[in-house]
């Protein structure tokens, strides 16, 4: 089995300091959380940005400042800015971080319920995001929240509408209103991806730890972080993203899987030229 790539989704767009006071908003807090995750063993940092008051934004200049500050603190880490942003944002708003030419960015693979909201990724939106990533030579992380999202993006890849092989998928399971975080659902998805692809699993809420264990033993990769889950265990909040990553590292050790450095992760993801 390849080494395990751990991604830390350090802040997301929805979780707040009311949920967990360690959720980062400011540039300094973002750097603190990215560094805690990297030092604990994360090779990849998935980045959303906020204004200092916690409001989510996709502002290009805010992304520039945050990404530069994280790069200065952890130069090796692979940074994956979000093009998902928060529900209700326009496609144009969401695309702003792609203007900064990141090596990777998320590409969300279909519309779905998102708690009480709807996360809109209709076909014109997805075609525009695919075109932008082809033009700017950005490797997408294809985020699938629902089973049908995978078929949608595979069809687009066949038609050359999004970047093709080798594809990196992130199966985000357990969002309220979407495909539940079960091993059965994960196995169904993993069995459908093209040979040579890589994949990560993200379990949301109470799905976080079962999905982390499944990702480790099934040969995939694992995402954790405050975007998805704020608890180390029932009733015990994590004090940092680093604590969540440490738990994945401990699980991997128990289960006999080695953890990839950022350099090794770049190789596995095909980012090395």
Residue written as tokens 């006999």?
A: 256
Output 4 or 9, the one with its CB closest to Zn ion: 9
- How far apart are CB 25 and ligand KMH at their closest, in Å? 15
C-alpha distances (whole Å) from 154 to each of 99, 109, 110, 208, 214 are 25, 10, 12, 26, 23
Applying CB under 6 A, the residues found at the interface with ligand KMH are 12-14, 82-84, 86-87, 106, 108, 114, 119, 143
36 contributes a contact to Zn ion by CB under 5 A: no
Q: Which does 81 bind (CB under 5 to 8 A by kind): ligand KMH, Zn ion, none?
A: none
Q: Which does 108 bind (CB under 5 to 8 A by kind): Zn ion, ligand KMH, none?
A: ligand KMH
Output 57 or 82, the one with its CB closest to ligand KMH: 82
Output the DSSP codes for 108-131.
Answer: E-S-EEETTEEE---HHHHHHHHH
Tell me the residue nearest to ligand KMH as measured from the CB.
Answer: 84
| Separation of alpha carbons 15 and 97, rounded Å | 21
- How far apart are CB 77 and ligand KMH at their closest, in Å? 17
152 contributes a contact to Zn ion by CB under 5 A: no
- Applying CB under 5 A, which part among 81-89, 174-182, 246-254, 262-270 lies near Zn ion? 81-89
Give how far the C-alpha of residue 56 lies from the chain's centroid of Cα atoms, to the nearest Å. Answer: 16
- How far apart are CB 161 and Zn ion at their closest, in Å? 22
Output 138 or 252, the one with its CB closest to ligand KMH: 138
- SS3 of residue 46 by DSSP: strand
| Separation of alpha carbons 140 and 134, rounded Å | 9
Output 228 or 246, the one with its CB closest to ligand KMH: 228
Nearest to 10 by CA among 40, 250, 221: 40
Output 227 or 246, the one with its CB closest to Zn ion: 227
* Contacts of 138 by beta carbon, 8 Å cutoff, 6+ apart: 98, 101, 102, 103, 104, 105, 132, 163
- How far apart are CB 256 and ligand KMH at their closest, in Å? 31
Cβ atoms < 10 Å from Cβ of 197: 17
Contact call for residues 231 and 237 (beta carbons, < 8 A): yes
Q: Which does 173 bind (CB under 5 to 8 A by kind): ligand KMH, Zn ion, none?
A: none
- How far apart are CB 270 and Zn ion at their closest, in Å? 22
Output 87 or 261, the one with its CB closest to Zn ion: 87
Q: Which does 185 bind (CB under 5 to 8 A by kind): ligand KMH, Zn ion, none?
A: none
Q: Is the link from the previous residue into 166 a cis peptide, with omega within 30 of 0?
A: yes
* Contacts of 216 by beta carbon, 8 Å cutoff, 6+ apart: 4, 222, 248, 251, 252, 255, 257
- How far apart are CB 178 and ligand KMH at their closest, in Å? 11
Residue written as tokens 């050359």?
A: 160
The only residue of 36, 82, 170, 202 in contact with Zn ion, by rule CB under 5 A: 82
Contact footprint for Zn ion (CB under 5 A): 82
């Amino acid at each position: 089995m390849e080494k395990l790539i751990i991604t830390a989704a350090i802040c997301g767009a929805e979780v707040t300091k009311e949920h967990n006071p360690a959720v980062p908003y400011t540039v300094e807090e973002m750097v603190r959380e990215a560094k805690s995750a990297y030092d604990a063993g994360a090779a990849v940092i998935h980045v959303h940005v906020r204004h200092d008051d916690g409001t989510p934004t996709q502002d290009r200049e805010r992304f520039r400042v945050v990404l530069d500050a994280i790069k200065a603190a952890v130069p090796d880490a692979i940074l994956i800015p979000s093009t998902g942003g928060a529900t209700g944002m326009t496609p144009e708003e969401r695309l702003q971080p792609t203007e900064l030419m990141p090596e990777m960015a998320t590409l969300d693979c279909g519309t779905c319920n998102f708690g009480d909201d709807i996360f809109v990724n209709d076909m014109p939106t997805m075609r525009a995001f695919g075109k932008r990533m082809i033009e700017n030579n950005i490797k997408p992380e294809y985020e699938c929240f629902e089973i049908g999202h995978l078929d949608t993006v595979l069809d687009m890849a066949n038609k050359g509408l999004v970047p093709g092989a080798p594809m990196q998928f992130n199966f985000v399971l357990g969002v309220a209103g979407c495909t539940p975080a079960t091993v059965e659902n994960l196995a169904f998805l993993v069995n459908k991806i093209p040979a040579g692809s890589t994949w990560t699993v993200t379990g949301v809420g109470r799905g976080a730890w079962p999905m982390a264990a499944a990702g480790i033993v099934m040969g995939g990769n694992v995402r954790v972080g405050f975007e998805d889950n704020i608890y180390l265990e029932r009733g015990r909040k994590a004090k940092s993203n680093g604590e969540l990553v440490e738990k994945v590292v401990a699980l991997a050790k128990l289960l006999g899987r080695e953890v990839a450095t950022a350099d090794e992760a770049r190789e596995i993801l095909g980012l090395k030229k």
